[in-house]
Structure 1
């Protein structure tokens, strides 16, 4: 490989990133209870991975209503802001840059998280999916999502304000920016797709109306912290959770054109990461690049070689790595020097303590190879 574009610097929101490697958002369910607050253990975990060009945190609920999984952190209380400040301080002290991913799960939730037992969604349609819930016995289980309650227009306005408040709180907590989670079957994605959004008001029906919720959320967050410090994650080719929509590709491309006009900092594509996942068509990548001229990040089981190929074609600007960052806190160095990658312990992905979380070592220096 003659060109190592992955290790070239990049400017994002006026700040130089030392490489094109992103730590992808990954739910790890280590927040302090009660209160769903980030803590010192999480600060250690993220700081260990500060050599990434950019860290995007695990998905973080913008309100109690937005919660769908046990032990995931929030960003709506003073205690949560203080907890996340520990994380940003630790990452910045280690020389890193970190964005907070803002999350509302919508119908991807469980009755135990809601006083009335009902998650909310654009339409009262169940997702045929499960979420991870820790019971009174302390054991986590995958449980079915119930049929949600359809949001009223008043509810929608309140959620948009929750996004605004979450962005303000992220700024108070010291984050360099935020990423709006609009992918993977969660609330914003539910509004985008005709299969999950069967409303007949201003937020459903036509493509223009299905895009409205995303646009109003982005507008509110951008007004709060500046568009250049905002990223948006979308998932055009992911169809799980009853999300297959015949109009999603044109909808995503229209969304990208809107985000380009607004001037957000980056667009982040969540691509399927299982063995027989569909390949992203080259035509779509070309259309996306034409619609959105800013920084494009892709995530989806990328290797150094696959990422380098897209970077050199100019179709993307950064490559996000998820699972490889779990057991390899020094992943950028390992990729740069082509060192072996450690395997993670799948039994310790969600919940628990430092084991399988912050106890993975960096590659021994006396064994490092030359670049």
Structure 2
């Protein structure tokens, strides 16, 4: 109901996340024990869990030779002596890509990545490609300004703590640019600000994201956030399979044939007493005569409103003629239990007017 995985699945999820973290740090060892097989078993369902991760042990860097300016770049900041390079990243449904453009250095780079990489990685790769292009052209003793519309990428490089291999590689390339005698500044430029260079980099990045990638995936190490998402999805898949295969919880499975994340978010916003009413109605374990009769509290399971059949939550919500007026006022004419439970506040209004629960 609240999209919370059972405890044993959650424990397995955290154990798998730990195994992946240890593998990333080269600390994972395959032992002849059952629990050490968790990574191998998960990789049979999602092979990318064995791919190289972008996460690295924390590195501390304090002596940066380049400067980073997070204030917005405008033409007023432009110097005739500056060599300008524009970078951008893009992510679409087909993939991810980075673009680098510079009229001063005649750079037009459109570099596609795989679908597993993030737009943040694409932005960082754009900075790395720009630095690599400067080094390849052996540009020395110039004032260079690299402009990116990603504050996140610039802040990651500016930070003294680095946990991303791509960010560290970018830092090393930028340092090498400075070692060539160049004065280097990385500055933020507002995206879609009618800057010719920024628009050109954006076009190159979008073209890259639409370009099929040739070769094995991933092109660059996958981010830790993507790995965590895959682990969570494996848990969610197992959770849904376990719920659909249960032979008990008959009414609850009829009302919620599948786990509904959107409904769970709405339910979590309810007050505790409201959530108790929804839970009792969903499971049938509320003040309904059938349930109370099974507990030995009442002497009859018949519906107190119509006296025609057993009083269950499903009967009251869907069929009972004795409460038809209340039902029509709050729920209309629900065609199924999932439809009725899809509107928690309407269902609460209906149960409150019946007066069987104590609100």
Tell me the TM-score normalized by structure 2.
Answer: 0.21
Structure with max Cα Rg: 2
Tell me the TM-score normalized by structure 1.
Answer: 0.20
Q: Greater share of helix residues, 1 or 2?
A: 2
